[in-house]
């Protein structure tokens, strides 16, 4: 039986990442999570962190005060990030929108470490190389495309996961970014408001 890959997650306590970290650990992969000390002490994350602990997930943090501290690693400290990456085989990023371009730091560390068999950048949405987006998605997609080109130019083995839209994010707020509930007074329509939608089971429907 082939040895299970050692997986390092960056951004693994968020909307998507927490499910991937759990699946990795439950599948028997040695699973590592780069995490901020503030996340470990955040009451809103306590359930997720607690579940990870029971699954044997190893936490990588620069905090010397954390009882969960194992290896050291920090997205914004190149040397420690390289050291963390050298302990694993696969790096999976699930960072959020605000940190998309920070993934160039991960790419640089992977290149220097020289041991990573596969890198999965934070995608988990539309295929950014085959869309005509309007703002604000256009800017986010451009950032993801820039990360893709950086990975490819460095010759790093990669997998891009394009899973299309997550209705749990968009339908719950009527696609109003930055909100947590449907607006009651007005909604923002992106683009010029004229594109037609198509029913998934009837491509000819307008």
Q: Which residues are catalytic?
A: 144
**Residue with the two structure tokens 């963390």:** 84
- In three-state secondary structure terms, 69 is strand
123's tokens? 């995608």
| 49 Cα distance to chain centroid | 17
Residue 150: partners with Cβ closer than 8 Å, 6 or more residues away:
104, 107
Separation CA 85–CA 118 (nearest Å): 11
* b/e burial code for range 183-194 (CB count within 10 A of at least 16 → b): eeeeeeebeeee
């Amino acid at each position: 039986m082939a040895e299970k890959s050692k997986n390092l997650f960056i951004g693994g306590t968020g909307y998507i990442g927490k499910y991937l970290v759990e699946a990795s650990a439950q599948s028997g992969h040695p699973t590592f999570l780069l995490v901020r000390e503030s996340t470990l002490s955040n009451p809103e994350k306590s359930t997720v962190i607690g579940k990870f602990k029971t699954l044997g997930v190893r936490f990588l943090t620069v905090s010397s005060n954390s009882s969960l501290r194992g290896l050291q690693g920090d997205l914004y400290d190149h040397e420690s990030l390289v050291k963390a990456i050298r302990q694993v085989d696969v790096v999976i990023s699930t960072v959020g929108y605000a940190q998309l371009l920070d993934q160039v730091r991960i790419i640089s560390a992977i290149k220097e470490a020289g041991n990573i068999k596969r890198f999965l950048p934070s995608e988990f949405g539309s295929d950014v190389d085959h869309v005509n987006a309007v703002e604000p998605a256009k800017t986010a997609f451009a950032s993801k495309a820039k990360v893709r080109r950086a990975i490819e130019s460095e010759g790093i083995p990669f997998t891009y996961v394009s899973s299309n839209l997550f209705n749990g994010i968009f339908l719950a707020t009527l696609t109003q970014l930055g909100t947590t509930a449907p607006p009651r007074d007005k909604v923002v329509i992106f683009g010029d408001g004229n594109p037609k939608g198509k029913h998934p089971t009837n491509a000819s429907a307008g």
